[in-house]
Amino acid sequence: MPVENPSRELILERIRAGLRTPVAPHPGPRSDAVIFEPIRNPLERFQQESTANLMECTLTSDLAGAALQLGKILDSLPAGEIFLQDDPSLRRLIELTKTQRPLRWSSEGAPREASEATVSLAEALIAQTGSVLVTAECGGRGASIVAPCHIVYAHAAQLVPDLETALGNLFRSGKLVRNSFACVISGSSRTADIEKILVQGAHGPRRLAVILQTGR
Amino acid sequence: MPRKVTLFVPCYVDQLLPEVAADTVRVLRRIGCEVEFPENQTCCGQPAFNTGYWNDARPCAERFVRVFGGAEVVVCPSGSCTTMVRTFYPELLSSSPLRDDAIELGRHTFELSEFLVKIAGVTELGATFPHTVTYHASCHGLRELKLRDEPLELLRKVKGLKLLELSRSEECCGFGGTFATKFADISVAMGNSKAECVAATGAEFVTAIDSSCLLHLEGVLRKRGKAAKTIHLAGILAQEKP
Amino acid sequence: MSETSAQEFLRKAAVKSADLVHRDIIRQGIESYDAAHLRGRLRFRDWDAARQKCREIKQEAINHLDKYLLQFEEKVRARGGHVFWAANAQEACQYVTDIARRLGVRTVVKSKSMVTEEIHLSPALEKLDIKVWETDLGEFIVQLRNEPPYHIVTPAMHLNRAQIADLFHEKLGERIPGNDPTKLVALARRRLRQSFFSAEMGISGANFIVADSGVIAISTNEGNGRLCTSVPRIHVVVTGIEKVLPRLEDLAVFWPVLATSGTGQAITTYSTLIGGPRQAGEADGPDEFHVVLVDNGRSRLLADAEQREVLHCIRCGACLNTCPVYRSVGGHTYGTTYQGPIGSVLTPHLAGLRQYQHLSYASSLCGACTSVCPVKIDLHHHLLHNRRNAVNSRGSKLGERMMFRLWRSTMLHPRIFVFLSSAGRRLLRLLYRMGLAGSIVDPMRAWNRYRSPVPLPAESFRSRWRKGLAG
């Protein structure tokens, strides 16, 4: 529904008029200086950083190991529905866990508020900050925020060294043109709004577990 | 090392704290400088500039540039007044015919510790001061002139002096020129905060490169009945064996 | 006569700066921030290069602001989102309330946004009987107290856990034993969760607007920003026009820099990008997506080339944390949406120099703010510029103007300077001997009232010089 917006032209005109007086560049060091230490061992760095971010990161060599790990996590959770990104790899994985829990797939819609856990894939893992990059394709927006536990199944080949690479890939892949949402997740939900004391599990997941498969 | 040094004495130091300027002269002479003092100097213009009265500050700045214009090296026992000349004159006089002279003057104007360490290359001044001392980093010296280590280097070389580290030494003491009177409550709260840090060191003296900070701090300390005394860096460096 | 902003500031500043309980709470909070911030900076190989890079990117963004905003708009529209340009607070609020009315919104969940505070959006919605929930924990706390945020990043920094526990007991009817922060957070989570899932509209700000991708970026730790933008049927973004970054990749430096400066974290937990409503094939997301681009004085600031860089601000709060004045008087004393050094620089541009010039004077010009600013805004020098502008627009008091005129005449004539100074010293010595230092007749009262009197030597330096020191 189009809305009349006369201020649009007005604001643009004001901006253009203001910019007619240029400002000199700020003196300072050259901006092509190296800002971050280069990442030598992405896997090691990811493990360090994700631990520092209070994530659980488990390495596993194959699909069976991943299923075992997923099963363990699910067993530790209270009874209730699990929401999963509808992807063949996750269908295979959950089948291997032989879980009896009710499952809801992203193809059926958003996760229910009472979901006990959400399981999704990632677009990439970022070593520099120990982060998981997801987009709407990873089961939607709620898949990484609604439940008290978010489980990510990822492959070591998805590791990128830093944010710059991750964002560059995301841009070039065109995924942001198709997706309305992406998020770099670096740990569990938290707050320090009370006396700067860190409390986990504010509004989002208290637990973020990454099952990282290193082999095929 | 420059032989001839022209002394710039901040107006309030001239009138209220003459000993600081006299000590500066002693220190400069001890390292072999010939000291000149242009008697027609007044104020660099900072009080008006900082309060927003640039049109009143400008003629004073222009006058200052004329008075000190021929000097080879200007030395000032104040980081704040040196900042006025070096950092703010180019902006204040940006459309003055004296702009280029002001920029040139700024390049040759130095705060005392800066001059001693960076220009004269001297840190050992043969001073003796058998007391415990803590150092407050005055803001203009620290952040405008980037003088972090120079005063400390000089203090470390003083015989008998025990330097005690001040916690939050880079936090402002609360002076701030007209701020000290316009917002006295805040200024004094900041001063009290600083006074507590000074007291916590247990030092007999607190020193700085700016008398304005020390004047404020002394006022706050004495009002609180605190033991530490204030002394300008020049006052310590000027002390020889009794 | 009602109190002016300046009088109110002075009154509150006097109370707060003498309030030692307040001072201890703030000091404790900021000391833990300081330690984290310091550690955070060490994660960069070259922190200063990061600041310089951010500065250059923001300068490029602002220098082509029209182009980048249009690029952003085009991409959002391509995903079916709406972009509305609001010249002022009234237009912005009107647009949002119109949507709420049209779609019968009863409940709104909000994630933290300083721009919505600036334009007073919540009161505008509440007038329509819409329930507005602040969902950031700190914002939720100050909302329950009917207070504005105390700090742009940590809105409830002025409260300790006991005060928060009492507040929750009073307003939410539940007593948390031992004032345990974990349980306090859990209580807020339970309360707000109902709101997230019943609200029809979510309102968020934007930390950045990314032009080349047509997305907004929101950084939150709690995840409330995620829920506000995922669950309700409508998502409205309210943000300032200056928040633009040219490229998605720019976030690779801005995200870490913002997190480091804001809280000392390496990166904020949820660094989210949103570019539209739910797309075909997506599992969830709002049906409607609106971005309100708020000018409200920003284009006026942009026209001031000297202070244009103030638009580079990323609202990290570092300048507040480091500011000794903020530490002394606290956030509420300012009486402005944006507090601390950035607030003192910015507010006169957004809300009027005449009314807010006093904030530019309420600074010792120590420059701590400038030294920490992650986009290298020359904050304390802009306070000087504001002071100059205030004086030049005849905003200063007549008495002060006359005093500086007199001062100037004195300083231009060394003889008058010497004569007046020495006469003044003599007069003051007389007064002080009579015990009148700091009294109403003391011309130095403003100084001496609060401090022991200034020294008054018998002789000036220049007189000693003449008498022999010259050698």
Instruction: Say if residue B113 is in the same domain as residue B8.
Output: yes
Q: Are residues B11 and B106 in the same domain?
A: yes
Mean pLDDT for C200-217 is 98
Q: Which residues have C-beta within 8 Å of that of residue C164, sequence separation ≥ 6?
A: A194, C141, C156, C179, C184
Distances (CA, A) of C13 to C17, C332, C359: 6, 9, 11
Decide which of B72, B90, B119 is a domain's last residue. B119
Contact residues on chain B for C388, CB-CB shorter than 8 A: 52, 54
C216, amino acid identity: I
Residue C471 has pLDDT above 60, yes or no: no
> With contacts defined as CB-CB under 8 Å, which chain A residues touch C157?
196
**Quick one: B8 and B114 in the same domain?**
yes
Q: What is the pLDDT of residue A163?
A: 98
**DSSP for residue A54:** T
Q: Which of B65, B87, B119 is the last residue of a domain?
A: B119
- Inspect the interface and report whether the beta carbons of B189 and C469 lie closer than 8 Å: no
Which candidate, B230, A125, B47, places its Cα nearest to that of C411?
Answer: B47
Q: Is residue B91 part of a domain?
A: yes
- Which domains does chain C possess? 1-38+304-396 (1.10.1060), 43-296 (3.40.50.10420), 400-469 (no CATH)
pLDDT of residue A2: 60
A41-213 fold: Rossmann fold (3.40.50)
- Return the HEC string of B192-230: HHHHHHHHHHCCCEEEECCHHHHHHHHHHHHHHCCCCEE
Q: Are residues B104 and B205 in the same domain?
A: no
How many CB pairs lie under 8 A apart between chains B and C? 194
Q: Is B242 part of any domain?
A: no
Residue B62 within any structural domain of the chain: yes
Q: Are C325 and C363 a contacting pair, CB within 8 Å?
A: yes
Give the tens place of pLDDT for each residue, A6-41: 999 999 999 999 999 988 776 665 667 899 999 999
Determine the structural domain holding residue B159 and report its residue range: 132-237
What is the C-alpha to C-alpha distance for residues A43 and B9, in angstroms, rounded to an integer?
A: 62
Are residues B137 and B63 located together in one domain of the fold? no
Q: Could you tell me the two tokens for A139?
A: 């089961």
Q: Is C281 on the interface with B (CB under 8 A)?
A: no
The interface pTM score, or ipTM, of the predicted complex is 0.96
Instruction: Check CB contact under 8 Å for A162 and C252.
Output: yes
Does any domain span residue B72? yes
Question: How far apart are the two ends of chain C, measured CA to CA in Å?
Answer: 62
Question: Is C202 an 8 Å CB contact of chain A?
Answer: no
What is the number of domains present in chain B? 2
B and A make contact (3+ CB pairs below 8 Å): no
Q: What percent helix, strand, coil does chain C show, rounded to 5?
A: 60, 10, 30
Contact list, A111 vs chain C (CB under 8 Å): 283-284
Residues B48 and B101 grouped into a single domain: yes
Segments in chain B below pLDDT 50: none
Are residues B89 and B27 part of one domain?
yes
Residues 9..48 of B with a Cβ closer than 8 Å to C: which?
9, 11, 13-19, 21-22, 25, 29, 37, 39-43, 45, 47-48
- Domain end, chosen from B119, B146, B168, is at B119
Distance CA B59, CA B135 (A): 35
**Same domain (yes/no): B138, B64:** no
pLDDT in tens, C31-63: 999 999 999 999 999 999 999 999 999 999 999
Domain contains B127: no
CB contact under 8 A, C425 and B15: yes
- A141, C302: Cβ pair inside 8 Å? no
CATH number of the domain bearing residue B187: 3.40.50
Q: Which residue from C52, C279, C309 is facing A31, i.e. has the nearest CB?
A: C52
pLDDT at C395: 87
Closest CA to B230 of B217, B220, B240, B242: B217
Q: For residue B239, give the DSSP letter.
A: -
A113 interfaces chain C, CB cutoff of 8 Å: yes
Long-range contacts of B213-216 (CB under 8 A, 24+ apart): B213/B136, B213/B138, B213/B173, B213/B175, B215/B12, B215/B16, B215/B17, B215/B175, B215/C454, B215/C455, B216/B173, B216/B174, B216/B175, B216/B180, B216/B187, B216/B191, B216/C451
Which secondary structure element, helix H or strand E, spans residue A144, and what is its range? none
Cα C69 from chain centroid (whole Å) = 24
pLDDT of res. C427: 94
Q: Which chains touch A (3 or more CB pairs under 8 A)?
A: C
Q: Comparing C448 with B232, which gets the higher pLDDT?
A: B232
**Higher pLDDT pick, C449 / C262:** C262
User: How confident is the model at residue B241, as a pLDDT?
Assistant: 75
B167–C contact, CB cutoff 8 A? no
CB-CB under 8 Å, A201 with C186: yes
pLDDT digits over B2-23, tens only?
789 999 999 999 999 999 999 9
Instruction: Confirm or reject contact between C465 and chain B (CB < 8 A).
Output: yes
Both tokens of residue C112? Answer: 């933290």
Q: Which residues contact A174 (CB under 8 A, 6 or more apart)?
A: none
Which amino acid, residue B18? Answer: P
State the pLDDT at residue B66: 98
Average pLDDT over residues A153-178: 97
**Half-sphere exposure for B221 (CA within 13 Å, toward CB):** 24
What is the band of C421 on the pLDDT scale with cuts at 50, 70, 90?
very high
Q: Is residue B84 part of a domain?
A: yes
Task: List pLDDT tens digits, range A95-154.
Answer: 999 999 999 999 999 999 999 999 999 999 999 999 999 999 999 999 999 999 999 999
